[in-house]
Every structure is written in structure tokens, then in C-alpha cells.
Amino acid sequence: MKGLSSLERVVLESLGKDVLGYEEIRHQAGLLENVFHNVLQALIIRGLIATDGTKYRIAEKISPLILEEINGKSAKQAEYLELIEAVIYQEPKRIFHIQKIAMDSKDEKIFGALLHNLESFLADAHKKAVKSTSVKERKVIFWGMSDVESLMTQIVSGN
């Protein structure tokens, strides 16, 4: 078993801890019928979703090894790369900026504090709206900072 694709993960997130019907999950996920059907079937075959024929739920007994494989560091990295690539190539509704910025240590500390405030805001916003917002309506947001030297070293080393 490999990690989860973004499509598989959005179906699992749509289902959450609920027991839902086919159309309810599809509506939450916002996927086209044929794509949703294929993803749902793949998750059932992989043993991640259980069904009684009309209702679906996340399988109760998923081994810790499989959970690590689908939620571990490499699985998350693959998902993030997939999402970032989709954001970069998305034309409508895209708000995405990446820049190389000269910053002194004082400004770097200020930026770190701003990132901390952003994380707090996002956590509160998510907690407030998670029940009333379908998975398909959620926003993908990414932020952070690194230095050019570290990134170039990573590119050269392939890590």
C-alpha cells in the first residue's frame, strides 16, 4: 500500500467520523461522479472504508502500520507536493506568491511572530467553521520561510 492521493484523502475527510450515503460523501468531496466512484472503490478495496451497501464509514480496524504509511511524513510530503503543484497551475481563484526576500534578523523575527499569529488565526477559523463547511469548500493555504542556501543545497543533493 502506498500513501494517499489528494483525491483519496478528500474522500476520507469528507466521510470523517460519520456514516454517510454515496451522494452525501460525493457532495462533500465535490468530485465528478466517475472520479468519486473510482476513488471510493479503491478505498474500499484497500480496506480503509467499510460499507453495508448503502452507507459508508471509515473502517474501524486499520493497522498502525497502514496508518503510518498513509499519514506518515513521506505520505504527507507527497500530498503537499501534489496540492502545491495544483495551486501553482490553477488559473482562476489563485492567490499565490513566492518571493526571495532580503531580510535582516530583526525582520525575520517579526515575520516569525506574524506566522505564529497566522497559525493561531487559521486554527481558530478552522475550529469555528469545520462543521458548517464541506470539504470541497475548504481553502488550501501554505506559508513558511527558508533561506536560499538551504533550498539550493537540498536541490543539489536531491533530498
Question: Domain of 28: which CATH number?
Answer: 1.10.10.10
Does residue 67 contact residue 60 with C-beta atoms inside 8 Å?
no
Beta strands at 20-21 and 55-58: parallel, antiparallel or unpaired: antiparallel
Range of the domain at 55: 6-70
DSSP 56-121: EEE-S---HHHHHHHHSHHHHHHHHHHHHHHHHH--TT-----------HHHHHHHHHHHHHHHHH
Does residue 145 contact residue 116 with C-beta atoms inside 8 Å?
no
pLDDT digits 0-9 by tens, 87-109: 777 777 667 778 889 999 999 99
CA nearest 6: which of 68, 78, 91, 87?
78
Q: Looking at the structure, tell me whether residues 11 and 64 fall in a common domain.
A: yes
pLDDT digits 0-9 by tens, 54-71: 999 999 888 888 888 888
The residue out of 17, 51, 70 marking a domain boundary is 70
Kindly tell me the sign of the dihedral angle through the C-alpha atoms of 127, 130, 135, 136: negative
Alpha-carbon span 154 to 134, nearest angstrom: 37
pTM, entire model? 0.73
Q: Looking at the structure, tell me whether residues 111 and 152 fall in a common domain.
A: yes
Q: What is the pLDDT at residue 38?
A: 95
Q: What is the pLDDT at residue 159?
A: 63
Alpha-carbon span 75 to 71, nearest angstrom: 6
pLDDT digits 0-9 by tens, 98-141: 888 999 999 999 999 999 999 999 999 999 999 899 999 998 88
Q: Looking at the structure, tell me whether residues 64 and 101 fall in a common domain.
A: no
